[in-house]
Structure 1
Amino acid sequence: MKAIKNIKIDQIRFTIPINESFLKDTDEPNVIKAINRYFKFKLLFDEPVIKPTGKNGYTNSILWGASEQGGLISVMYNPARVDMGVLIDFTATGKYLYESICQLNGIDVNWRNIITVIYQRFKGHATRIDVAIDLINYGYSVTSIYEKLKSGEYVFINPIKQRINFNRIQYIGRSDEINTIYVGSRYSDAYLRIYNKKLEQMNKKGIFHSLAINCNDWVRVEGEFKNRECHNIGAMVSTLSQDDIEPYLASYVNKHWKLVFNHD
Structure 2
Amino acid sequence: MKLNNIKIDQIRLMVPVRDQKLKTNEFPFELKAINSLFNFDTLFSEKTVMRFGRNGYTLSVSYGSENQGELVTIMFNPNRLDMGLLIDFTASGKALFESLCKLQDIKVNWKKIIELIYQKFRGHISRIDIAIDLIDYNFSINEIFAKLKCEEYIFLNARNQAITEDRIKYIGTKKEVLTIYVGSRRSDAFLRLYNKKQEQSDNKGLYRLVADKHDNWVRFEGEFKHREAHAIGAMISTLNTNNIYPYLAGCILKHWKMVINVGSQE
The Cα offsets for residues 178-218 of structure 1, whole Å up to 9 and x where unpaired, read as 00000111110000000000000000111111111110000
Q: Deviations over 1:200-243 (max 9, x none)?
A: 00001111111111100000000000000001110000001111
* Cα distance in 2, alignment partners of residues 116 and 80 from structure 1: 28
- What do residues 112-159 of structure 1 show as CA deviations (whole Å, max 9, x unaligned)? 011001001111000000000010000000010011011000111101
Instruction: Provide the residue aligned with 1:91 in structure 2.
Output: 90
Unaligned runs of 5+ in 1: none
TM-superposed CA distance for 1:244, in Å, is 0.9
The offset of 1:69, in angstroms, is 3.9
Q: Secondary structure, in 3 states, of the residue corresponding to 2:253?
A: helix
Letter in 1 for 2:214: C
Q: Do the aligned residues in 1 keep the contact of 2:130 with 2:248 (CA within 8 Å)?
A: yes
Q: Shift of the alpha carbon at 1:47?
A: 2.4
Map of 1:240 onto structure 2: 239
- CA shift, 1:25, in A, is 2.6
Counting matched residue pairs gives 263
Instruction: State the shift of 1:165 in Å.
Output: 0.5
1:217-236 matches, cutoff 5 A: 217-236=216-235
- The percentage of counterpart residues that share the same residue type is 53
CA distance in structure 1 between the partners assigned to 2:71 and 2:52 by the alignment: 15
Structure 1 match to 2:26 = 27
1:46-85 to 2 correspondence within 5 Å? Answer: 46-85=45-84
Partner of 2:183: 184
Compute the displacement of 1:172 (Å): 0.4
Q: Is the 8 A contact 2:45 2:65 kept in 1?
A: no
User: Where does structure 1 differ by over 6 angstroms across 4 or more consecutive aligned residues?
Assistant: none
For the pair 1:109 / 2:108, whether they are aligned, the reply is yes
Q: Secondary structure at the match of 1:146?
A: helix
Question: Is the 1:23–1:80 contact (alpha carbons within 8 Å) kept by the matching residues of 2?
Answer: no
3-state DSSP class of the match of 1:238? helix
- Give, in angstroms, the shift of residue 9 of structure 1: 0.2
- After superposition, residues 242-261 of structure 1 pair within 5 angstroms as 242-261=241-260
Q: How far does the alpha carbon of each residue in 1:6-36 deviate from its partner, in whole angstroms, 9 at most, with x for none?
A: 0000000000000112233312111101111
Aligned partners of 2:46 and 2:65 also within 8 Å: no
The answer (yes or no) to whether the contact 2:6–2:133 under 8 Å persists in 1 is yes
Contact 1:11 1:90 (8 Å CA) reproduced: yes
5+ long unaligned stretches in structure 2: none
1:172 alignment partner in structure 2 = 171
Structure 1 Cα separation of the partners of residues 256 and 57 of structure 2: 33
Separation in 1, partners of 2:3, 2:248: 17
